[in-house]
Structure 1
Amino acid sequence: MQEEQELPKGWEVAKLDIIMTPVRGIAFPKEVKAHAPAEGYLACLRTTNVQKKVEWDDLWFVPKKFAKREDQLIKHLDILISTANSYELVGKVAQVHEIPYPSTLGAFISLLRVKSPFDAKFYYHYLSSSTVQESIRAFASTTTNLSNVSTGKLATLDVIVPPLPEQRRIVAKLEELFSRLDAGVAAVRQSQQLLKRYRQSVLHAAVTGALTSAWRTAHPAPAETGAALLARIRAERRAQWEAAQQAKNGGQLPLNGAWKNKYQEPAAVDTTELPELPEGWVWASMRELGEVRLGRQRAPQHHDGPYMRPYLRVANVYEDRFDLRDVKEMNFTPEEYEIYSLRENDILLNEGQSLELVGRPALYRNEVPGACFTNTLVRYRVCQQLLPKYALSVFRSYLHTGTFQKIASWTTSIAHLGADRFANLHFPLAPLAEQAEIVAEAERRLSTIDALELTLAAELKRAERLRQSLLHRAFTGRLVPQDATDEPAGELLGRLTPQPPLQKRGGAKAAAAAGAAEAPAAGEGKRRGRPRKVAAAADGAAPEVAEAPLPVGTQTTLGF
């Protein structure tokens, strides 16, 4: 809630609807929306377009007939406010400074149109301050995952009213200070992008051999080349298969050994279009170097049972880290647990995800003991001759170079990595000693990048705190000097708002009648006759309140 403190001299407090007009967004059937401009259509802004500024990409377009009133068309300096969103984002505001298409707004946002002569930029800054944002959220009605603020409640929000010249001085000072602050923020964000590209180049260098070229010069004859290592992996893979067959049959297998011919060697990788690797390296397939497993599907019958276990899903797996704030449980029988359990050094990759994030990998370090995983993830369990951290470096490089995107199947909204497609993907196998060197050198460089990114993130938070500090100073009268010649806000509001009548004949009854009447909007004349009834809005929007007639010769006043 807003702090209660003494107002600067000449300032007043008014209800929001005295200063600006709230306008609800439009409702329309989902099937009428289009994704490109067309004759007879309006751009329709949504919550996704209300960021720190209005973003005009990812627009919907709807037939203009659904904007039934002129005030539902967006105008210059309108303030857009998210009125249906998560609790943290409801009340978020952005101001319109350009209108590339004739536009309206969807049902989850509203607009606040500042009335003349008040300064629209001043009230945009005011509404974006953290104190006012908290007050708006306090109005919200919240369900499980959605908070809603009605325009009716917004209209009752208390807002400050400085003298008009002071509003303009505050805006000018804020814009001056924010331009310098924004330049600093832009420099930090540019540095973040440079670090992002440097991270990608480190990972790319790791899996192409560029990172260890000097090391190879100093170690020209590895004890075991990549080709020799791959041959050993293949031999051990076959030996494990034969041992498993013998165990399955109780050791009773034909003596002629014909059963061994049933073993299927993984297909070799087609290297025709693959780049040349450093000397001593070799191309292999994911299937040759480890076990690929898709997780178990969620289903209602698994939601409870005697073997409830934690499981990880795509929402938990980020690049080289896990988000464990929301780990769910599901029933896995002992047999299922044997198949879908996670072991330390398993690598989990996003199987179903947006196209740019499909394949996002993280190395499991037993963060959730006894955990399993769902079919939104692929588990890769490396063989003993492959370092898990080296495999992770390869997967992170594939994420950033688009390799995973190229093999993914995707629809409009989601891409699938595919366990089989992933298993057949190529993998640059370096000698074991060089794998260890790659991991050490990559970790050294990436840890430096991580530290710099933390520093830059802290700078952005500091910039936001400074921004809010400036807004607080502005709206407590401490940012710009006051001018004794400014017309006080009370006088301004008095001129714009009808004054109360002098009480004459009629006494209490006349006063009661005047107090019960609605004040006309600024600039409108008084109405006579019977009051109009309030009609319910067809689209569920808050109804507009009809004006009640004023007794002849009486007026109402704004109460502070």
Structure 2
Amino acid sequence: MLSARNIENNEIVFDVFRLISEGAFKTENARTRIAAGDVLLTIVGTIGRAAVVPEAAGPFALQRSVAVLTPGPELLPKYLVYQLQSPVIQRYFEAKARGTAQKGVYLKTLGQTPIQVAPLDQQKRIVAEIEKQFSRLDEAVANLKRVKANFKRYKAAVLKAAVEGRLVETEAELARREGRSYVTGAQLLQRILETRRSQWQGKGKYKEPAAPDITDLLELPEGWVWASPAQLSAGEPYSLAIGPFGSSLKVSDYATSGVPLVFVRNIRAAMFGGPDTVYVSEVKAGELRAHWVATGDLLVTKMGDPPGDVCIYPAHRPPAVVTADCIKLRLGDFALTQFFAYAIESDLVHKQILGITKGVAQLKVSLGRFGSIAFPLPPIAEQHRIVSEVDRHLSIISKTEVQVDANLQRAEHMRQAILGKAFSARQTEYVMGLSA
């Protein structure tokens, strides 16, 4: 059994379907009697997508979100498909659609659709001209989509070069050329660890954070070193933490004002605030102090398919509380947050996250495993240069992507303009009602 989602780009997609019993098929088939040359039209939800049933199609049934139209001998199926998608008919469907949650067009209304009918030879010429122009348009759209797909590969290549020390001149090379010394990544890590030790305010004896497992990882550039999130986290307690779980935070604790909560969806979209924000009271937030997040903290999803989405908690937002499936990483003074956000997005780190992901029903990363993965740590000046160069490349990608999206939208408008011109009143001899 097919549904409205099987009607795409003037074609019927048979890849996804639902199996029904022979008895149910007989009942549905008696209702629709689908045959080659019939036109299928979506009439619920996204109204107006249409396609011709091909000769090679085997038997299938349809959900009631799709209508079956059988053109008479005076109407070419392809001509009908294109006309159903023309601006004038689309406006007709919009005006006649009824419903609240999901609008639809009733069959009686559909049967009264004013269809313009030209002589058959003229219909053939109209279809041929539409398909000629659509073919050119489709080629242009395919090229634009290829360009858009390349943006992801380009970004991945930029991030790969960034975390492997190939995007900018390394601090070691620069210092050698300028005849000066510099603070290496190893020395930087030592400072971070010493600062953590001296500023420790937690309960009990200070415990050294675990170094990362660097087995099978690439050799870093001169002056770089591997470091774990646990090593790079700030010295204060709960710098590396997850949200509360179990009875610590229940749905009944949610409020419409107070201290905002951060969910996986916020991190994925890098969007905080807005009408869908969920809060807890100031009192409850006080109980959850270990899970607070502040400006500049790194937020990483620990659940998902796959986990590992990352963003930086923005400066314009108030302190918040992370929820159970989020990781918070507050870095020390000698680690640039944006560099490590880019590192987590890179294949180098993301593959490590995938490697420590466990679960059957839900894929998750534990805080302990996340805390021991390997981050590349360059000298601090090099971190800044890398971030600036990545920002420059991503800005170019973003601007070009806006142009590509605008051209894709323009192509869709051109498609409608082609159909609008093809089915203007000048192209027809008379108007008839369509039986559905």
Q: In the aligned structure 1, how far is the partner of 2:371 from the partner of 2:77?
A: 58
Aligned position for 1:285: 228
Structure 1 residues 278 and 472 mapped into 2: Cα distance closer, same or farther (>3 Å)? same
Aligned position for 1:390: 339
Higher relative contact order, structure no. (Cα contacts within 8 Å, ≥ 6 residues apart): 2
Q: What secondary structure sits across from 2:330 in the alignment?
A: strand
Q: 1:454 aligns with which of 397, 402, 411?
A: 402
Structure 1 residues 454 and 155 mapped into 2: Cα distance closer, same or farther (>3 Å)? same
Is 1:228 the equivalent of 2:179? Answer: no
Instruction: Give the C-alpha shift of residue 359 in structure 1.
Output: 1.6
**Aligned ranges 1:36-115 → 2 under 5 Å:** 44-52=1-9, 53-68=11-26, 69=29, 72=32, 75-85=35-45, 90-96=46-52, 102-107=58-63, 109-115=65-71
Aligned position for 1:381: 330
- 1:333-360 CA distances to partner (integer Å, 9 max, x unpaired)? 24146344432212223333333xx322
Aligned position for 1:310: 260
Q: 2:308 aligns with which of 347, 354, 359?
A: 359
Instruction: Give the C-alpha shift of residue 397 in structure 1.
Output: 1.0
Instruction: Give the C-alpha shift of residue 152 in structure 1.
Output: 4.5
Aligned position for 1:511: none
Structure 1 window deviating more from structure 2 (364-373 vs 100-109): it is 100-109
Instruction: Give the C-alpha shift of residue 460 in structure 1.
Output: 0.6
Instruction: Give the C-alpha shift of residue 382 in structure 1.
Output: 1.9
Q: What secondary structure sits across from 1:274 in the alignment?
A: coil
In structure 2, list runs of 5 or more residues that go unmatched.
234-238
CA contact (8 A) 1:351 1:377 kept: yes
Instruction: Give the C-alpha shift of residue 322 in structure 1.
Output: 2.4
Q: In the aligned structure 2, how far is the partner of 1:66 from the partner of 1:423?
A: 54
Aligned amino acid, residue 81 of structure 2 = Y
Structure 1 residues 302 and 280 mapped into 2: Cα distance closer, same or farther (>3 Å)? same
Q: In the aligned structure 2, how far is the partner of 1:58 from the partner of 1:384?
A: 52
CA contact (8 A) 2:243 2:324 kept: yes
CA contact (8 A) 2:39 2:53 kept: no
Aligned amino acid, residue 276 of structure 2 = V
Q: 1:200 aligns with which of 140, 151, 156?
A: 156
Q: In the aligned structure 1, how far is the partner of 2:55 from the partner of 2:372?
A: 49
TM-score relative to the length of structure 2: 0.83
Structure 1 residues 63 and 142 mapped into 2: Cα distance closer, same or farther (>3 Å)? same
In structure 1, list runs of 5 or more residues that go unmatched.
1-43, 246-258, 483-487, 498-520, 522-543, 545-560
Is 1:168 the equivalent of 2:124? Answer: yes
Report which of the two structures shows the higher radius of gyration computed on alpha carbons: 1
Q: 1:273 aligns with which of 203, 211, 216?
A: 216
Q: 1:442 aligns with which of 383, 390, 393?
A: 390
**Alignment length, in residue pairs?**
419
Q: In the aligned structure 1, how far is the partner of 2:388 from the partner of 2:97?
A: 51
**Aligned ranges 1:130-209 → 2 under 5 Å:** 130-144=87-101, 146-209=102-165
Q: In the aligned structure 1, how far is the partner of 2:368 from the partner of 2:140?
A: 47
Aligned amino acid, residue 127 of structure 1 = L
Aligned amino acid, residue 420 of structure 1 = G
Aligned amino acid, residue 374 of structure 1 = T
CA contact (8 A) 2:36 2:57 kept: no
Aligned amino acid, residue 224 of structure 2 = W
Q: In the aligned structure 2, how far is the partner of 1:47 from the partner of 1:96?
A: 14
Give the alignment's Cα RMSD to 1 decimal: 3.3
Instruction: Give the C-alpha shift of residue 331 in structure 1.
Output: 1.8
Q: What secondary structure sits across from 2:327 in the alignment?
A: strand
Instruction: Give the C-alpha shift of residue 401 in structure 1.
Output: 5.7
Aligned amino acid, residue 7 of structure 2 = V
Q: What secondary structure sits across from 1:160 in the alignment?
A: strand
- 1:110-146 CA distances to partner (integer Å, 9 max, x unpaired)? 13333232122122222223443343344444445x4
Instruction: Give the C-alpha shift of residue 378 in structure 1.
Output: 2.6
CA contact (8 A) 2:343 2:349 kept: no
TM-score relative to the length of structure 1: 0.66
Aligned position for 2:421: 473
**Aligned ranges 1:400-549 → 2 under 5 Å:** 402-411=351-360, 415-477=363-425, 488-489=429-430
Instruction: Give the C-alpha shift of residue 468 in structure 1.
Output: 1.2
Q: What secondary structure sits across from 1:168 in the alignment?
A: helix
- 1:494-543 CA distances to partner (integer Å, 9 max, x unpaired)? 9xx9xxxxxxxxxxxxxxxxxxxxxxx8xxxxxxxxxxxxxxxxxxxxxx
Q: In the aligned structure 1, how far is the partner of 2:243 from the partner of 2:87?
A: 43
Q: What secondary structure sits across from 1:266 in the alignment?
A: coil
Structure 1 residues 303 and 155 mapped into 2: Cα distance closer, same or farther (>3 Å)? farther
Aligned amino acid, residue 424 of structure 1 = S
CA contact (8 A) 1:77 1:95 kept: no
Structure 1 residues 329 and 471 mapped into 2: Cα distance closer, same or farther (>3 Å)? same
% identical equivalent positions: 29
CA contact (8 A) 1:407 1:417 kept: yes
Aligned amino acid, residue 420 of structure 2 = H
- 1:158-203 CA distances to partner (integer Å, 9 max, x unpaired)? 4433443333322111111111111111111111122221111001
Instruction: Give the C-alpha shift of residue 464 in structure 1.
Output: 1.0
Q: In the aligned structure 2, how far is the partner of 1:387 from the partner of 1:374?
A: 25
CA contact (8 A) 1:312 1:327 kept: no
Q: What secondary structure sits across from 2:19 in the alignment?
A: strand
Instruction: Give the C-alpha shift of residue 45 in structure 1.
Output: 2.5
Aligned position for 2:84: 127
Q: In the aligned structure 1, how far is the partner of 2:76 from the partner of 2:273?
A: 46
CA contact (8 A) 1:225 1:281 kept: yes
CA contact (8 A) 2:301 2:309 kept: yes
Instruction: Give the C-alpha shift of residue 109 in structure 1.
Output: 3.0
Structure 1 residues 267 and 82 mapped into 2: Cα distance closer, same or farther (>3 Å)? farther
